[in-house]
Every structure is written in structure tokens, then in C-alpha cells.
Structure 1
Amino acid sequence: MSDPLQDSVTSPHISSLKFAKLHSPKMKSVYWRHFGFPTSEDDCIITKQSIVCTLCHKVLTNHGNTTNLRAHLQYRHKEMFDLLVQENGIRVPPRKPTSTKLISKVKREPKKPKIKMEYSPPTLHSTISNESAANDEHDEQSILYESVVPMTYDDDDVIDSNHFTKIEVSNANDIKTSCSDLLTVNNRNERKFCITTSTAGNIEHELGIDEYQMLEALANLVVNDMRNIESLYDEGMTKFIRSLCGNVSVPALKKVETYLKEVHSDKQTTLADQIKVHSQIKPFSLGFEIWENVEQKHFLSIYFNYATEAPDYNLVNQIYCTIEYNKFTVIDTIFEDFNLNNCTAAIVNCDYDEYLKHFLSEKNIPIILSYDTIVNHCIKNVMELPGVASIIEEIKDTLMRYHLEISSKGVEIPQICSDFPWTYYELLKFFSETLSWPEDVEALVASSKIVYDILSTLAVTVDTLRGEEIPLSSMLSPITSKVLSKKLMLVDGDDNFAATIKDTISTTLDKLVLSDIHLTISALLDPRFHRLININNYNACVQILTEKFDRIVDSQGISPTKPSPRPVNYGVKSSPGAMSKKSNLELFFDLTESPVEQPVAHEASSVETDLKRYRSDVYVPLDESPFLWWNKMSHLYSTLKHLAVQYQCLPCVVNMNYKKPIKQQIDEHQKRFMLTGNLIDAILFLHYN
């Protein structure tokens, strides 16, 4: 007897399926012991529509039952199958008895599949247009059912005929009974519903969607658009799905929920295992974002930040989980398996939450306010000034007065959103630069232009950060120092109104950035920026770094190191080609001269002495990678290399939303605001990961 699984019916994308591991699900049937779902190197299940034999790595199609599993074991692994049958008392169904007739069964030729043809009565498709049928010799509609049978199967009872069904609706004259053409066009194991109707427009719908694909597509729709699952069953969405997919049934809500939970559980478990191990041995930082939904429930989204070395040195920012946040929330349970002693700092988007502050203070984790939140504070403080508030109201009134005229020109007026202070900036820009106004509005335009020009300084800083893949916290102090010393200094011609606005922004930046000693230390240990900051609390910085180094020595058992010899030149120079196109940082700081090296006396290695040598000797261009620099040059500063790693995993923002256009930020904010139910964590995790 020929092997019923020889030349098994697998499509090209299945036969070439690449997988790293196999995940064996917990099923009642003993046959599943030797089969599993293909998974990637990250332990994520690639597909559940295919299963792989753990004995021979043969890829089979998952029909939802064990028929083909049993057949595979029975004919490919007979000894293992007999052992399973004997151990579990399985009764194998007997084979069909052969015919007792004298006429022997004619075995079909290997290259002629069986074809079953049935023609329906003319009334079956009376709704189809008869315009084209009037010109034909046969005016009735018909259906052709073709069951393409695998050519190597001798036993028809093993075949799952539903898996090889193709249904085609067409004109009677267009029926083609040649199966060879069909086999060359459509792969034999695809369940493909091909519907061709003779309508006036000769519209053709060709679908290749089964229940599993529909389930996956709907889950992706929920995740990508950050929508509630219930929205899939709204009347409009239901009609849209049916218009595309015909009679393919929409999976039940519970099925979509279960699928999302499974995918989220797989990915989240894999990520959690990785970062928990990372937290035990390497420094990291955390991000906390507090937000509210339409039900007025508060949520806490937690981000994990860590530096990687392979394939490149860079910083990774990933959302870890989202939990409902109230007075009964126990944050400690989330970090039970984390070593919070390796947490460098926490970046938060809200500086008014005392409960979160208390938790971080208990763990001795410094708190840094996210830079996009700092900029929002600056704009809000400016908008609250009486003079600026009156200008905004006058602008609103003027736009209302000229609304019809502006709309007739096809110009969209920016709308203010109180949760997004940058919308005030967009409104001022639109009013002062986009439109031409009559003379009676010129005074208002001039006043709005003053506010807009000063706020543009903040826009430049944010644009500078956008140039970085993930901006480090070490950038904030030098950027702020540059802004205060060059952009927000009072100049001739500044009236009291402009001076008040500049002073408001300067005070906010000085309080939230320059006074933060951890941001100062972060900039100090970045070889690009240590020369670009003014340190008013240098002794305090040295003390904190010394205490940190002592803790590192105690925890990691680092042996005292001998002072390294002083090299001729510590600077890392870029090639002329690299300097031809300046980065955002180089354009912002506009450095033209290299600082002159100042000799430092050779002393025993310590945090303080290494810091003096480092500040005197090191000059690094702004486009140099701090990760790569410390990797190459850290042996010269034996104490600082362990401290610098602590701050290389510290971004200056909670997440990367600030990079998106303001309209997209508002749109995503509103989508998240509308999320309800118990799948918020899963939807957000899968959306951002």
C-alpha cells in the first residue's frame, strides 16, 4: 500500500515554513504528544493553521481534529502509533472491506483527479442578471462543484474532502471541466471560494478567507486601530465584512477575545521573561504614563527601557503592561521578579501623583519628568498669563467673525485642545503667518506674532529631539542651557510683554531641568555634552557618583583598578565626509571650535580624579555615539565606565508619541480614551509592540 502521506498536500508557504521551536498545546488526544505549533526564536507562535510533527518535522494542516494526526502516525511512525494504541487502549477503526465482486476495482491513474459535476436547475440563481444570458444558447445558470482529490490517496475515507473544495459560480457557457487548468492556477490545499457572477458590471469576487484568517484579520483590526471588540459587531461593520467575504461567518465575540488573550499572553510572557532576566544583571529605567478613559477610570502604562549591545549599541523603549490605577493598586506586585536596585531612574508624565512618588521614593528610584510634559508645562504657563489669555480670546473672536470667508478659501482652522498645549502654538502660527488680515486686525497679529516667535524656541528643542531615534536624558541639560543663554535672553526691543513670556519659560525650564541633579549627572557622563553644561552643584554630583560606585563595587565585586596611563589624545574626530551633513544636534548647538585641552595632574584613580581627567581630556563630536565611545574608551576611566552605563538606559521621554504630528497624537489619544473592558492591556501591548 502506498503511503497516504507521501507528497502531502501542503501549499508553498506551508512547505517552506521556517520555525525555530515547537509549542505543544495541552490537548486531550494523545496524538498531540507528537505534534506542535511552529514558533519563532522569540517563542511566538507563527501560525495555528499548521502543525508540525516532532518526530520528522513534517508540516500538516490543522483541521481542528485529529484525523490527519492519526493517519500520519499510523503510516509514518507505525511503531510509535502501535505503542500509543496499546498504552491508551485506543480502538482503531477497521478499514473498509474490499468488494466481494469478481470485477476488480480499477485503480485510477495517478494524474487524473476525480471530478464530480452537478448542474443546478435554472431557478436556483434567478436573481442573477439575464442580460448576458439572453445572447447565449443556454440561458440557465449553473454551479460546478469540483472536489479535487489528492492523487496519492488510495483510501477515500482518509480524505477530508471539505479541505479541497472550490466553489465557482459562472455562466453555463463559461464552465470549464478541465481540471488540469484549475490545478495550475490554484494550489490543491487552499480552501478557496471563487465567486463569479454575470452582472451588468461583470464584477468578480475572489476570496481566500477561512475562519482562522477571518479571526486573525479582525483581531489585527482591533489592535491596529485601538478599538473595542464590540465595534466589530456594529451594523455598519458587519455589513462591510459580509459585502467583502460573502457567506463566511464572522467569529463570535468570545472567540476574538480568546484569540487576543492568547496572542497577548504569548508575547507578553516572552518579553517579561527577557526583561526580568535583564533587570537582574544590567541597569534599566522605567517609564510611567497615567491616563484616563471614557469611564473616568485611571490607568497606569509602564514602559521598560534598556540598552542593547547586539547587533548595534542602542536604547530600547517598550511598553510592558497597563493596569487600572486607583488607591487599591499594589504596584509592588508588578515588579516582584525585578531587581529594582538596577533601576537608574523613572520617567513620568505626571508630577502630581503622590502615590507613585511614594513607591519610587521607597525604592530609592530618582524621578525625572518627561520632556514633552515639561514643554507642555511651559506652554500652559504662558497661556495662563493675563496678556496672552486675552490675545487667545481675541483670536478666537476674530476667526469666528471671518469664519465664512476663511472656509470659502478651503483653509482649515486649527482647533484648540486643552490636553494638547501645542494646539495653541498651531493656532498662533496659523493666525500670524497663514492669513492676510485687514488693518484693524494688525495690532492683534503683531501681538500674536510675539508669542509665536518665543514659543518657536521650544518647537526647535522638540525638533532637535525628534532627530534622535530615542533621545537620551543627557540631552536635556545642554539643550536647556543653550535655550536660556541664547534664545530666551532679553534683547533690545523686548517690551514688558515679551520679557514676561521669556521669564515664564525660563523659570519653568530652570526648575524642571537645570535644577535636576540627575539630569546634570546624565549630561556629565555623556562625552558629547559634558563641556556644554554649567554645573552649579558639582560637589553634590561627585558625591552621588561616588556613592553609586561604592554600591556597584559591593554588589558586583569589582576589584580596585590601577590608574590608566594618560594617552596623547582622547578626542574622537569625525571624517570630513561625516561633517558635510550636520545632524540636528550640530545644527542646534552650532559649534565651530574645539576646546583646548588643559593638562591635569596624574593622580590615583577615583571617581573625582577620573572625572577631572575626563572633563579635561575628552572632546567628542555631537554626531558620535556615546554607546560606542564608552565601549572603545572606557578602559581609560576605570570608575566612570561603570557609572556611565547606568545613564545610557535613560531616555528623556516616557514614549515616542511626541514624534508624531499633533493631529495624530490627538487621534490616538481619543482612541485610547474610548477603550473599555478587560482587554485594554492586551490591545495597547500588541499595538505598541
Structure 2
Amino acid sequence: MRYKENRSQTNFTMAAHKMQVMIAKMMDDKSTITYKKLIVPSAMRSIYWKYFGFPASDDDIILTKVKIVCLLCKTQIAYNRNTSNLRMHLQNKHARELIELEASAPPRRPSLDAKEKRALKKGVSKGHISGIVQPYIYSTTVDGSVQIDGDIQFITDPNINLQSIDDDTNSGNLSNNVQTVVYKSAQGSSKQNVSLLLSEENCDNHPQMVKSVVDAIAEFIIIDLHVPDIVEGRGFQRLIATLRSPCEIPSKTKLEEDFIPKIYDTFKESEQTTFSKLDCAMCLSVEEWSSGNGETFITISVHYQPSLETLLETRVLATLHCSVDMDIAQWVMAFDSLLAEWYIKLNNITAVVVATSIPELINALSEKGLVIVPCLVHTLQLCASACFTLPEVATILGRCRSLISQVTRIITGNSSLRIQEHNMLQMEEGSLTMDYPHVWTSTYVMMEQLILRKGFLQSLMEGNNKNDIMLSDPEFHILEDLVTVLEPFKVTIMTLGDEKMPLISLIRPLLWQLTSSHLKIKDTDSDAARLFKECISANLSEKHAVYYQCNTISFTKNFIKKRHGAHKLYLARLEEEKRIEAEQKKQEQEDKEKIKNQSEEYQAYREVLEKKLQETKEAT
């Protein structure tokens, strides 16, 4: 049996090699295709195909699917296996016809589920095997020619007789199984890179190979967080063509409706089983973020440490849309439903780290009796943003961005200035780049680099008559004050970044240092620095008061109460440290009392001695 499988694989590899040779010859011979008709297969049901068609012969055989032709203006358009470019062409060139077409279009039919699609696809495949020819929904007698370029191309014609290209290759059997060929041609290169996309009939003969390739593509999309549209991208198809691997590229629709949902369901069932059996402390995190169109979402994750393991596991549970009219009761229902869906026990959740400013959400978590721990990084972002949104500061930051844009244009067009800027980069860390306002550290770096290049920028603007764009000295003073005030926050972020898992024992000293030392107003502070410190202190104290309300020992006990026996020793050590600290305080108090008593006795002895000396002096 294994011998037959190896022999089948060897024959398949040899056949693929022969196919590459033949397709390479076909690529060299055919650069222009002359057609007699423009037709559209019945499987393509979009209304926009009414004004387009594929080049075909008199016998209704599609000659190529590389290009499609517009019936109205004879424009040739690259076919990318979707109708977006068809509608775009009509919108740009034939707006009236597009309006009439969409106005007369029937309502869309409901989409088929996965089983119906597979049944329909199976029926179409059987019809093809038995020789049934599918009718065309559009067909015209327009003739012409299509010029094929050297990029990735698609040839979808199961009726091509590749044996006629080279009689010596003996490839008649293989040609019947080939459904699509993707190839890449490079001008001036004699080497062609060919990748075969096999029909379903051929793929059935090599199911293990096809399954591994499809799984690899799906995992690539999931792990690297790509959208399924990438399989329709020209670069991705060029990569597959270069690999010379006979394989099937799953379509975007099949990935979205079949492969990725199956992978997600399998993984979800596994995690549900794991969570249902877990009896250890767990923590939730809630992170707020905004999409490109301004919509607000939250991503909820769970963090836990399995028994007898030191690795902290993290799983993303869901991403929810934050509607503006959601109240506390609705948020409570959303969290209850989420925990029930993943079989997570509420009693196992010891705390929730929140990186959001939605009050209804935070109050909903508090009503469930959960400990709320604000995310320090998110809070620092809010504190810095509060300074950046002050009217005077916002105006200066806008001028900073305009200045950087102008400097970039000037330096780009002057080679000597580029060399000077490069020399400055050798002496100083960082480059002068625009900030990303949603990340406060990028704005901090932008201000810092502007201050370092103050002299260079002044001379550059004077030499190019751009003094109106240059910042004034008072504006630079405000930037310097803001950078000085925010510098401890940058150090805090770097300290947290060095820790894989910052503990509350690290965060509390950092907060104490910020509030009690760095943000204290000094006599030497300018008015702007005082304003910045007051603004940041108000926000920081309000957001992180919870850290000073939590008892460290009780919080630690609550967090690790269900851990294995080693934690009992840790708790005992905490209690021992607490006892030693109390004894030290008691001893210090006793020492103070003893010193005080000794001081009083010495004072009394001194008074008696002075009195005797005085009496002796009077007697003498």
C-alpha cells in the first residue's frame, strides 16, 4: 500500500514537471489572444457582468481569464476574481448605465449555508464530469484581441489540449485534470516559475497534501492576523507561483465561511473544556480601542496560571462593540453571558485590569464584586493627553507638526542638508519624525527631538525664509517644561516594559514616587510647569486611588488562595515579615521611651548637682 502511495506521488511530481515545461512554452508562444466572442459563464451572476465578457472562440470556449473586456468602450480590465473593478469602471466611465443597471436589478437572494453550497458545487462538478455544458448568461459576437502582459495570469480552461503543444511530453491524461494554472513571467528571463492549482478531481487523489497546504494558509492568516482577502492579492499569488508547489489556494469566501470558523470552533471547544476544569485564580483584562471610523470596542481577555506551571496563559475571549446607550444592567448581562459561554467561574476571578474610561462598564464590574485595577499605561496615556489637549499646548503641537512637515520637504530636496541631518543622528539618539497622537510617548519623543535641534531648525528656517513657521522662544520654553514634567513618566513606562509581568508590588512604589516626588510643585517651577503638574496629579490620583485602598497582604491571599502548597510558605513568609515589622516598631518605641526616661533622670541629676554647687559657692 505504501509502495502504491509513493509511486502515485512520484507520478504526480513527474506530471507536474511536464506541466511546467508545457506552460512555459505556452507562455512564450502566446502574448496576444484574438477572440470572436465575449461571453460570461452562468456561475458569474453579478449584475455588473452585463457590460463585460471574457474573450472566447466561435465554439464558446473561453480563451483566457486574464483580462475581461468592456462591451461599451472595449477597455481591457484585469480579472481579479471579483467584481469590484467592474463596478469601478462603470462608475468612472459609464455612470448612466451603472445607475440604470442598479435600479433595474432584482433584490438579492439570501445567501446559501455551507451545506447548500457544497451540494451545489458537487452537482456542478458532476455535471462537468458527465459532459454537461453549462450555458452562458451573456454572449456577444464582438471580436478583437487581448494583449497579455508578463504578470501573474490565470488560465481557466479545462478543454485545453496540452498534448498539442508538445507531442513528446505525453501529457494528455494530466491536462484533463488541470483546472487552473498560475504562472509568473519575467522579461529577459528564460526560467519560468509555475504553480498548479488542481481541480477537485485531482485534489481528491492527494487529499493529505491539499489539506496540509490549506491548513498552512489558514494558520498563516490567523497567526499573523491577516485578512482573508490576502489570498486574492497579487503578491501572495506571486509567492505561491514562485514556490513551484502543486496546491489549491482556498478562496476568500471558503476561508471566511468554512476553514477559519472550523478552526475557531475547534479551539473554542478545547478552551471551554480547559476552563470548566480549572479551579485556580484567574484575572480578566478589559481594553478599550477605537476603529478607523471612530467606533469604540473593548477586547476582553482572561489570564491564568495552571497548576504546577510557572507560565501565565492568556486567552482573548471576545471583542464587543460599545454602544453609547448601553447602561450598567446591559453590561452586567454581557459579562454574565460571556463567562457562561466560556465556562469561567466568577468565584475564580480575583481582579479585573481595566484600560477603559467607560463608567457604566466599570460600575457593572464593581457590582459583580470584582476588584478593579486600572491599567497604569492607559492611565498615563490619559494624564499626558490631558496636558496635550490644553488649548495653548494643542496649538503649539499643531505648529510642531507643521514645522516637521516643512523641514522634511526642505531636507529631501537638499543633499547637503541630508548629510548634516545624518551627522546629527550619529551624535544624538532618535530622528525628527511626526508623532502618533494616540500614543503619548511618540508626542514626547517629537517634542524632545525638536528641542535638541532648536539651533539647527532656526538656521534652516531663516535660510529658507520660513520664519513664520518656526516656533518662538516662549513656545520652546513651554515644550521644555512639558518634557521635563513628563520625563519621569517615560522612565516609568521603560521600567514597566522591562518586566514581562509587572506586579502590584512594583506598581505601587512607582505611583508613590510619581505622586509624592516628581509631581510635587517646587518654588523653581514656572507657571506652565505648575499647571502641567496640577493637571496630571488630579487625573493620576483619581484613577489610581484603588491601589492605596487595597491591602497588599489580603489582596495577595485572595489571589493565590487556590494555588498549590508552595504558596502557603509564601503567605507564611508575608505573615512573618509583618510580625517582624511590628516587633521592630515595638522595639523602636521602647528604645524611645528608655532614652526619654534616661534623659529625664539625667536632667534631674544635673539640677541636683547644680544646686549643690551653688550652695557650696555661697558657703565659701
TM-score of the aligned structures, taking structure 1 as reference length:
0.47
In structure 1, which of residues 281, 285, 288 is the aligned counterpart of residue 286 of structure 2? 288
**1:480 touches 1:514 (CA, 8 Å); kept in 2?**
no
Corresponding residue number in structure 2 for 1:263:
263
CA distance in 2, matches of 1:343, 1:484: 30
**Deviation of residue 225 (structure 1)?**
4.5
**1:214 touches 1:251 (CA, 8 Å); kept in 2?**
no
**1:129 touches 1:198 (CA, 8 Å); kept in 2?**
no
CA distance in 1, matches of 2:504, 2:367: 23
Q: Which string of whole-angstrom CA distances, capped at 9 and with x for unpartnered residues, describes residues 533-575 of structure 1?
A: xxxxxxxxx7x899x69x97xx99x9xx99x99xxxx7xxxxx
Corresponding residue number in structure 1 for 2:399:
394
In structure 2, which of residues 300, 303, 307 is the aligned counterpart of residue 302 of structure 1? 300
CA distance in 2, matches of 1:397, 1:295: 24
Corresponding residue number in structure 2 for 1:365:
370
CA distance in 1, matches of 2:396, 2:503: 36
Corresponding residue number in structure 1 for 2:316:
319
**Deviation of residue 375 (structure 1)?**
0.7
**Deviation of residue 346 (structure 1)?**
0.8
In structure 2, do the counterparts of structure 1 residues 367 and 274 end up closer, same or farther at CA, with 3 Å as the change threshold?
Answer: same
Corresponding residue number in structure 2 for 1:415:
434
In the alignment, structure 1 residue 481 sits paired with structure 2 residue 512: yes
Q: Which runs of 5+ in 1 are unaligned?
A: 12-59, 62-111, 131-167, 176-192, 526-541, 571-606, 619-689
**Deviation of residue 121 (structure 1)?**
13
**2:354 touches 2:372 (CA, 8 Å); kept in 1?**
yes
Corresponding residue number in structure 1 for 2:211:
212
Q: What amino acid is the match of 2:347?
A: N
**1:351 touches 1:369 (CA, 8 Å); kept in 2?**
no
In structure 2, do the counterparts of structure 1 residues 389 and 292 end up closer, same or farther at CA, with 3 Å as the change threshold?
Answer: closer
Q: Report 1:477-516 matches (<5 A).
A: 477-491=508-522, 493-516=524-547
CA distance in 2, matches of 1:431, 1:318: 41
**Deviation of residue 306 (structure 1)?**
1.7
CA distance in 2, matches of 1:230, 1:445: 47
**Deviation of residue 469 (structure 1)?**
1.2
**Deviation of residue 360 (structure 1)?**
1.5
Moved more, 376-385 or 262-271: 262-271
**Deviation of residue 302 (structure 1)?**
1.4
CA distance in 1, matches of 2:19, 2:218: 39
CA distance in 2, matches of 1:261, 1:504: 48
Q: What amino acid is the match of 1:451?
A: L
Aligned identity (percent) is 16
CA distance in 2, matches of 1:514, 1:459: 21
In the alignment, structure 1 residue 228 sits paired with structure 2 residue 227: yes
In structure 1, which of residues 422, 432, 439 is the aligned counterpart of residue 451 of structure 2? 432
Corresponding residue number in structure 2 for 1:612:
578
**Deviation of residue 332 (structure 1)?**
1.0
**1:387 touches 1:497 (CA, 8 Å); kept in 2?**
no
Q: Which string of whole-angstrom CA distances, capped at 9 and with x for unpartnered residues, describes residues 607-632 of structure 1?
A: 9x7673164589xxxxxxxxxxxxxx
Corresponding residue number in structure 2 for 1:385:
390
Q: What amino acid is the match of 2:313?
A: V
CA distance in 2, matches of 1:509, 1:364: 24
Q: What amino acid is the match of 1:438?
A: Q
More helix by share: 2
CA distance in 2, matches of 1:400, 1:334: 47
CA distance in 2, matches of 1:382, 1:614: 44
Q: Which string of whole-angstrom CA distances, capped at 9 and with x for unpartnered residues, describes residues 91-126 of structure 1?
A: xxxxxxxxxxxxxxxxxxxxx99x999999999936
Q: Report 1:151-300 matches (<5 A).
A: 201-203=189-191, 205=193, 211-233=210-232, 241=240, 249-257=248-256, 258-278=258-278, 281-294=279-292, 298-300=296-298
**2:184 touches 2:238 (CA, 8 Å); kept in 1?**
no
Q: What amino acid is the match of 2:277?
A: V
Q: What amino acid is the match of 1:276?
A: S
Q: What amino acid is the match of 1:346?
A: V
Residue correspondences, number: 389
**1:465 touches 1:471 (CA, 8 Å); kept in 2?**
yes
**1:343 touches 1:365 (CA, 8 Å); kept in 2?**
yes
Q: Which string of whole-angstrom CA distances, capped at 9 and with x for unpartnered residues, describes residues 44-99 of structure 1?
A: xxxxxxxxxxxxxxxx99xxxxxxxxxxxxxxxxxxxxxxxxxxxxxxxxxxxxxx
- Structure number with higher relative contact order (C-alpha < 8 Å, ≥ 6 residues apart): 1
**2:381 touches 2:439 (CA, 8 Å); kept in 1?**
yes
Matched position secondary structure for 1:330: helix
**Deviation of residue 299 (structure 1)?**
3.6
Q: Report 1:63-102 matches (<5 A).
A: none
CA distance in 1, matches of 2:364, 2:274: 24
Corresponding residue number in structure 2 for 1:340:
346
Q: What amino acid is the match of 1:306?
A: Y
Q: Which string of whole-angstrom CA distances, capped at 9 and with x for unpartnered residues, describes residues 631-686 of structure 1?
A: xxxxxxxxxxxxxxxxxxxxxxxxxxxxxxxxxxxxxxxxxxxxxxxxxxxxxxxx
In structure 2, do the counterparts of structure 1 residues 386 and 307 end up closer, same or farther at CA, with 3 Å as the change threshold?
Answer: same
Corresponding residue number in structure 2 for 1:470:
501
**Deviation of residue 241 (structure 1)?**
4.9
CA distance in 2, matches of 1:121, 1:277: 57
CA distance in 2, matches of 1:338, 1:461: 34
Q: Which string of whole-angstrom CA distances, capped at 9 and with x for unpartnered residues, describes residues 153-185 of structure 1?
A: xxxxxxxxxxxxxxx99x99x99xxxxxxxxxx
CA distance in 2, matches of 1:121, 1:242: 14
**Deviation of residue 303 (structure 1)?**
0.8
CA distance in 1, matches of 2:478, 2:225: 41
Corresponding residue number in structure 2 for 1:128:
28
**1:286 touches 1:304 (CA, 8 Å); kept in 2?**
yes
CA distance in 2, matches of 1:341, 1:433: 54
**1:272 touches 1:320 (CA, 8 Å); kept in 2?**
no
**1:378 touches 1:504 (CA, 8 Å); kept in 2?**
yes
**Deviation of residue 466 (structure 1)?**
0.9
Q: Which string of whole-angstrom CA distances, capped at 9 and with x for unpartnered residues, describes residues 495-531 of structure 1?
A: 121122123223322222245345x43xx34xxxxxx
**Deviation of residue 234 (structure 1)?**
5.0
CA distance in 2, matches of 1:268, 1:309: 21
CA distance in 1, matches of 2:19, 2:411: 65
TM-score of the aligned structures, taking structure 2 as reference length:
0.51
CA distance in 2, matches of 1:516, 1:122: 72
**Deviation of residue 380 (structure 1)?**
0.9
Matched position secondary structure for 1:272: helix
Matched position secondary structure for 1:438: helix
CA distance in 1, matches of 2:196, 2:394: 59
CA distance in 1, matches of 2:535, 2:492: 17
Q: What amino acid is the match of 2:339?
A: F
CA distance in 2, matches of 1:490, 1:357: 32
**2:282 touches 2:348 (CA, 8 Å); kept in 1?**
yes
Q: What amino acid is the match of 2:448?
A: K
Corresponding residue number in structure 1 for 2:64:
none
Q: What amino acid is the match of 1:510?
A: S
Matched position secondary structure for 1:612: helix
**Deviation of residue 304 (structure 1)?**
0.8
**1:432 touches 1:446 (CA, 8 Å); kept in 2?**
no
CA distance in 1, matches of 2:264, 2:351: 27
CA distance in 1, matches of 2:435, 2:26: 57
In structure 2, which of residues 347, 352, 355 is the aligned counterpart of residue 349 of structure 1? 355
**1:298 touches 1:325 (CA, 8 Å); kept in 2?**
yes
**Deviation of residue 305 (structure 1)?**
1.3
CA distance in 1, matches of 2:294, 2:471: 42
Corresponding residue number in structure 1 for 2:143:
none
Q: Which string of whole-angstrom CA distances, capped at 9 and with x for unpartnered residues, describes residues 571-623 of structure 1?
A: xxxxxxxxxxxxxxxxxxxxxxxxxxxxxxxxxxxx9x7673164589xxxxx
Larger C-alpha radius of gyration, 1 or 2? Answer: 2
In structure 2, do the counterparts of structure 1 residues 194 and 515 end up closer, same or farther at CA, with 3 Å as the change threshold?
Answer: closer
CA distance in 2, matches of 1:124, 1:490: 77
Q: What amino acid is the match of 1:319?
A: V
